[in-house]
Every structure is written in structure tokens, then in C-alpha cells.
Amino acid sequence: MRKKFVNALRILFFLSIGIILLAIAFRDVSFEDLVSGLKSANYYWVILSLTFAFLAFISRAYRWILLIEPLGHKPSPENTFYALMTGYLANFILPRIGEITRCGTLNRTERIPADSLMGTVITERISDLIVLLLLGVYIFFVEIGFFGDFLYNNIMIPVYQKVAPWFSFNLFIYILILASLLLLILFYRIIAIVLRKYKIFRKFERITASIFEGMKSVSQMKKKGWFLAHTIFIWLMYYLMTWAVFRALPVTAGLGGNAVMFILVIGGLGIAAPVQGGIGAYHWIVSVGLGLYDISREDGLVYATLAHESQALLMIVLGSISLFIVFLKNKKKPQPLVITTISDKNNLHNE
């Protein structure tokens, strides 16, 4: 009962953050103007955008299989896709819970250890983060004249002012910090030796080792070229998905490819925010980003609402269907008969 209460509080906490960000983004925005802007959209372009998103989801499922294969398993593309979409659905309930959910879902359908799968998901996320950072660096240097003053005055200077004091220590302080870190590592090793006799600590070590094993899967992958090809294809679909929504609205249809790339990058940061489905965070950051192109806040929010809600609807529909299919599969699957022998009972008693 207490665990359910804590989980409910966590959901409400993150949801309240999203609602606050939505309130900030939509403050003083006319509802009539928002509806009018949405009515002006060409929804054929929105459908095309969702098609690109769907293709990206399929490619993501195949890319995940490439990471799982070095672990000695080859899940079916269908079950992998269902697990992926179930994870996306879960992210609308609690931020970042989707990664755990999709590992658990694939564990139930394919009997692959969930902790090893978690390592592959971490590897996948790291690769996507690298791509996002590379795209951010690219757009910064290509449009440095356009974004230079904005980034310098609103990001670089404030960050420098907060970070600079940390680098004013003398050499002795740095040596002291390094020595403290070494002592902490030594202390951890000593504590680990003491705690290893406890079952719960040994279980924690096994889970950690499995996660790292999953993360090493990219180095053991035989089809690295296909992994790279899927990664490029996924982000190309994301770019086209963003471009199609640009084309759907008269106010953004005339913006160029670099504007699409910029919104893709900052929109990705908004989606990564620790709120359900990036709600609020995406709307705010995208409307501010479009403001740099002289798009009014109202029109920027029309774009953000159209892009976010269409994608959210697609994920919820596909996620719900996937969850239902997985439920039916698990219901039809016969439960294995477990026979416990006397020696097994003795072993359990000794543990």
C-alpha cells in the first residue's frame, strides 16, 4: 500500500512539473488564436510526419535486436517492436520508466534477462545522445552568426559565471580532491569485501555486471555497419518528421533546413526533460526556439502543440495496441511446471 502511494506521488510530482511548464508556455496566449492556428494546418503533412515516425520506430526495434544478439539471444522483430512501443506508452505515466518497462516486456515475451537488456538500452541511449550532440554542434557552427549572440548572452555567459568560481582553487585543493576520490574508491573496495557475504549485495553486483555486459554488446556486435545505418536512418526520419510538420503550417512552411535541424535538436532536449512525454518542456523550448526566427509565441505554440500531440497520440495508440497484444500472448502461453525436489528444498533452507 505504501509503495503504491509513493508511486502515485511520483507520478503526480512529475505531472505537476509538466503542467507548470505548460502554464508558463501558454501564459497570456489566446485559446481562440491557438485553435485558429491548428485549423490552418494541412493535416496531410501531419500524416506524412507520423509515417516517418512509424518508420523510425520500426528501425529502432531492428537496431535494438542488433544490440541484443551478442548476448546470445535473437528476439523476433514483432515482440521487440511491441516492447519498444509499450515502453513509449509507459513514459507518459512516469518519466524514464519506459526503458525499464520495455526490458520487462521483452523479458516476458522472449525470456531474455531484463538486467542485460537494460545495458543494451543504455548503450542505445548513449548513441542517440552522441548523434544529438553532433547535430547540435553542427547547427551551432553552421548558424554561428545567427545564434552566436543569443547563445553567448543567454547560455555561455550565465554558465561561465556559475562554473568559473570552481576553477579558482589552487593546486593544493586539486590534489586534496584527487586524494579524497582515491580514498573513496579504496573505502568502497573494503566495504564491498565486507558486504559481499550478504545475499542482497551479491544480487546487486550480479545485476550491475549484467548491465555492463549489455553495454559491451556494441563492441561485440558483428553488424556494426547495420547499427550505424539504422542510427542514421532513425535520425533522418526524425528530421523529415520535423520538416513535415513545418510544411503543415503556413507560418513555418517557408523556414529552411537549418531551422528544421535546430528545432529537432532543441525539441529532443525538451522530450528528454524529466516530465511525462516531455509535456510542457517541449512546448516551451520549441516556442522559444522558433521565436529566434521571428515566429510569434502563439504561432510557435501552435507548431509545438501540433508536433507534440500528434506524436503523443501515435505513441499512445501503438503502445496501447502493443500492450494488449503482449497481454494476450502472455495469457495464452502455458506456465512451466516447476518440480521442487528434496535436495532443492534443502538448498533453499541452507540459503
Each residue's pLDDT tens digit, 205-258: 666 665 566 556 666 777 888 999 999 999 999 999 999 999 999 999 999 899
- Local confidence band at 343 (pLDDT 50, 70, 90 cut-offs): very low
What is the 3-class SS of the chain, one letter each residue?
Answer: CHHHHHHHHHHHHHHHHHHHHHHHHCCCCCHHHHHHHHHCCCHHHHHHHHHHHHHHHHHHHHHHHHHHHHHCCCCCHHHHHHHHHHHHHHCCCCCCHHHHHHHHHHHHHHCCCHHHHHHHHHHHHHHHHHHHHHHHHHHHHHCHHHHHHHHHHHHHHHHHHHHHHHHCCCHHHHHHHHHHHHHHHHHHHHHHHHHCCCHHHHHHHHHHHHHHHHHCHHHHCCCHHHHHHHHHHHHHHHHHHHHHHHHHCCCCCCCCHHHHHHHHHHHHHHHCCCCHHHCCHHHHHHHHHHHCCCCCHHHHHHHHHHHHHHHHHHHHHHHHHHHHHHHHHHHHCCCCCCCCCHHHHHHHHHC
The lowest-confidence range among 11-25, 131-145, 270-284 is: 11-25
Q: What is the pTM of this model?
A: 0.74
Model pLDDT, residue 25 = 57
- The pLDDT mean for the chain works out to 78
What value does the CA radius of gyration of the chain take, rounded to a whole number of Å?
24
Model pLDDT, residue 43 = 93
15 vs 346: CA distance, rounded Å: 49
Q: For the residues 93-111, what does the mean pLDDT come to?
A: 87
Q: For the residues 25-34, what does the mean pLDDT come to?
A: 68
Question: Cβ–Cβ contacts within 10 Å for residue 46, how many?
Answer: 20
Model pLDDT, residue 285 = 87
Model pLDDT, residue 283 = 87
For the chain, which residues make up each domain, given as ranges? Answer: 2-350
Each residue's pLDDT tens digit, 35-56: 888 888 999 999 999 999 999 9
292 vs 225: CA distance, rounded Å: 38
Model pLDDT, residue 337 = 38
- Local confidence band at 261 (pLDDT 50, 70, 90 cut-offs): very high
